[in-house]
Amino acid sequence: MADKLIIFDTTLRDGEQSPGASMTKDEKLRIARQLERLKVDVIEAGFAASSNGDFEAVKAIANTIKESIVCSLSRANDRDISQAALALKGAQRGRIHTFIATSALHMEKKLRMSPEQVLEQAKLSVRFAKNLLADIEFSPEDGYRSDEDFLCRVIEAVIAEGATTINVPDTVGYAVPELYGQFIKNLRERIPNSDKAIWSVHCHNDLGMAVANSLAGVMMGGARQVECTINGLGERAGNCSLEEIVMAVKTRKDYYGLELGIDTKHIVATSKMVSQTTGFVVQPNKAVVGANAFAHASGIHQDGVLKARDTYEIMRAEDVGWSANKIVLGKLSGRNAFKQRLQDLGVQLEGEADINTAFSKFKELADRKSDIFDEDILALVSDESVSQAQEQFSFVSLSQRSETGEKPHASIVFKVHGKEVKSESNGNGPVDASLKAIENFVKSGAEMVLYSVNAISGSTESQGEVTVRLQNSGRVVNGVGSDPDIVVASSKAYLSALNKLQNKSDRVAAQG
């Protein structure tokens, strides 16, 4: 049997823990469908016991996804595990991923449990989970900073209870490649029943080494599952990036010698979908999915690539889906072509009413913008207004005046619970005036902690995509808005962030 590397995607769980990256059930479902199209082996859909919203999202994904294993995280207690099993009930192939911290620091300061209590809890939890599902993953949280002898006892015990995957997280991104690889190797060699489980690596990127550490865990340690996220999304400096791991293993098959199930031509579309949904923009020089990843600016490089591509290119842009970035629809495209394109992009809108709303938005956009790209369609459907008639705030229209030497002024009309209101303000610039006009009416008191503008498809003719991050009473949310007019895009993004602030959902933090 070929030596396969299992790709476990945790964008919807660990990725979602980035400040402001929380996603709605529909957004998660759309991304899960795209991950299935990408052929990831395991989708960690969420942490079912953390909130009703997460429970419903895991359930919806479990009921929809057929090819990938669907997994839910759970702390090592019966209630969390039962919730995970319940949410996964409809899954073709479900997995419970249970975890408990094993480092001295976490056990003493966070859990206030003795090592013996942690060992007992880990055993009981895996035993309980095993009665509910066959596929059980166990993670000793902060595993890399745990005492090796103690970790050996815990892991041996949970494998004996039936854990089928053992994941060793570098929770705080402290590892370096050689030491992490050696650590996994030691554990596998020392634990007598280690061959009864698949070993997995889960690295955070605090020192920029998550991908290198994961690869060392695979090559030196013998791990055969990598936990990663699209675009490396995740708390702090993020997680190991899926696209980098996959393309490293694929491009250097001569060295790694491992098989992958991933259909790499869907990588770029998935990256764009995650970025547009969460508002986390991908840096242009990011490996594989950054806008410059395949751009050759210097004359020498261009000349070389024109003569023979492999002079400077080690991967082909089309193999990761860059060629899919083409004009897809225009003003004359009909409803069926639009519906088909949505399907091809993995977008499933609920019911005819939502398709009609999206189609009329597409027509409006096509009137203002001659070429409609895949990115425009994805932005259009991630726009709050498509399926979110129930949202509190929605954009209607804007007029603004700005002239050199004059104070910019904006007058905006937006809906509050379906009723139109108008508000005006001056500001330092047209965007500032527009957002102040909204805030004058709403009086949310939220603090803006990030504002960023990005051109969706690269030129001044493209739509502007704006991310606004607001913080209020300890909650952080990202709002995303897109429009050919960046002042309108900014207003939409601000209203979208306000909507998210209203949707209060108290969740339990995974590592809290």
Sign of the CA dihedral with 128 first, then 109, 209, and 294 last:
positive
Q: Which of 94, 169, 279, 481 binds ligand KIV (CB under 6 A)?
A: 169
Q: Torsions phi, psi of 421, nearest 5?
A: -130, 155
Distance CA 327, CA 318 (A): 15
Binding mask 274-313 for ligand KIV (x = CB under 6 A): ----------------------------------------
Nearest to 32 by CA among 62, 73, 56: 62
Distance CA 449, CA 305 (A): 42
Residue closer to ligand KIV by CB (options 139, 271) is 139
Strands 6-9 and 198-203: what pairing? unpaired
Distance CA 409, CA 405 (A): 12
Q: How many chain residues are in contact with Zn ion, going by CB under 5 A?
A: 1
Distance CA 205, CA 425 (A): 42
CB of 165 to Zn ion, least distance (A): 15
CB of 110 to Zn ion, least distance (A): 15
The full length of the chain comes to 512
Binding segment toward Zn ion, per CB under 5 A, in 8-16, 32-40, 312-320, 416-424? 8-16
Contact of 127 with 161, CB cutoff 8 Å: yes
CB of 122 to ligand KIV, least distance (A): 13
- Site residues for ligand KIV, 13-42, by CB under 6 A, read 14
Residue closer to ligand KIV by CB (options 208, 334) is 208
Q: Which of 139, 213, 241, 478 binds ligand KIV (CB under 6 A)?
A: 139
Q: Which of 26, 27, 135, 141 binds ligand KIV (CB under 6 A)?
A: 141
| H or E element in which residue 75 lies | strand 69-75
Contact of 12 with 229, CB cutoff 8 Å: no
CA angle centred on 417, ends 412 and 421, rounded to 5°:
25
Position of minimal CB gap to Zn ion: 14
Residue 80 interface partner, choices Zn ion, ligand KIV, none, CB cut-off 5-8 Å depending on type: none
Residue 141 interface partner, choices Zn ion, ligand KIV, none, CB cut-off 5-8 Å depending on type: ligand KIV
Contacts of 508 (CB under 8 A, 6+ apart): 47, 49, 50, 51
CB of 42 to ligand KIV, least distance (A): 13
Task: Work out whether 102 is an interface residue with ligand KIV (CB under 6 A).
Answer: no
Binding segment toward Zn ion, per CB under 5 A, in 10-18, 91-99, 262-270, 371-379? 10-18
Task: Work out whether 9 is an interface residue with ligand KIV (CB under 6 A).
Answer: no
179: helix, strand or coil: helix
| H or E element in which residue 422 lies | strand 419-426
Binding segment toward Zn ion, per CB under 5 A, in 14-22, 143-151, 189-197, 338-346? 14-22
Task: Work out whether 146 is an interface residue with ligand KIV (CB under 6 A).
Answer: no
Task: Work out whether 46 is an interface residue with ligand KIV (CB under 6 A).
Answer: no
Residue closer to Zn ion by CB (options 206, 424) is 206
Binding segment toward Zn ion, per CB under 5 A, in 12-20, 25-33, 71-79, 105-113? 12-20
CA dihedral of residues 434, 437, 442, 448 (deg, nearest 10)? 50
Task: Work out whether 409 is an interface residue with ligand KIV (CB under 6 A).
Answer: no
Task: Work out whether 225 is an interface residue with ligand KIV (CB under 6 A).
Answer: no
Residue closer to Zn ion by CB (options 96, 495) is 96
Q: Scan for tokens 């242009």, then name that residue.
A: 284
Contact of 30 with 347, CB cutoff 8 Å: yes
Residue 99 interface partner, choices ligand KIV, Zn ion, none, CB cut-off 5-8 Å depending on type: ligand KIV
Q: Torsions phi, psi of 282, nearest 5?
A: -85, 130
Sign of the CA dihedral with 12 first, then 164, 121, and 110 last:
negative
Task: Work out whether 483 is an interface residue with Zn ion (CB under 5 A).
Answer: no
Helix ranges, 346-485 (H): 351-368, 374-382, 430-442
Q: Which of 33, 37, 202, 436 binds ligand KIV (CB under 6 A)?
A: 202
Contacts of 23 (CB under 8 A, 6+ apart): 12, 16, 31, 57, 277, 278
Task: Outline where DSSP puts E strands in 159-224.
Answer: 165-170, 198-203
Name the β-bridge partners of 69.
Answer: 42
DSSP symbol at 309: G
CB of 229 to ligand KIV, least distance (A): 10
Residue 61 interface partner, choices ligand KIV, Zn ion, none, CB cut-off 5-8 Å depending on type: none
The amino acid occupying position 234 is G
Distance CA 433, CA 298 (A): 41
Binding mask 254-273 for ligand KIV (x = CB under 6 A): --------------------
Residue 297, exposed/middle/buried by CB under 10 A (0-12, 13-18, 19+)? exposed
Q: Which of 11, 83, 171, 205 binds ligand KIV (CB under 6 A)?
A: 171
CB of 12 to ligand KIV, least distance (A): 13
Task: Work out whether 14 is an interface residue with Zn ion (CB under 5 A).
Answer: yes
Task: Work out whether 243 is an interface residue with Zn ion (CB under 5 A).
Answer: no
Residue closer to Zn ion by CB (options 11, 499) is 11
Q: Torsions phi, psi of 381, nearest 5?
A: -80, -20
Q: How many chain residues are in contact with ligand KIV, going by CB under 6 A?
A: 10
Binding mask 339-358 for Zn ion (x = CB under 5 A): --------------------
Task: Work out whether 16 is an interface residue with Zn ion (CB under 5 A).
Answer: no
Residues that bind ligand KIV (CB under 6 A): 14, 99, 139, 141, 169, 171, 202, 204, 510-511
* Binding residues for Zn ion (CB under 5 A): 14
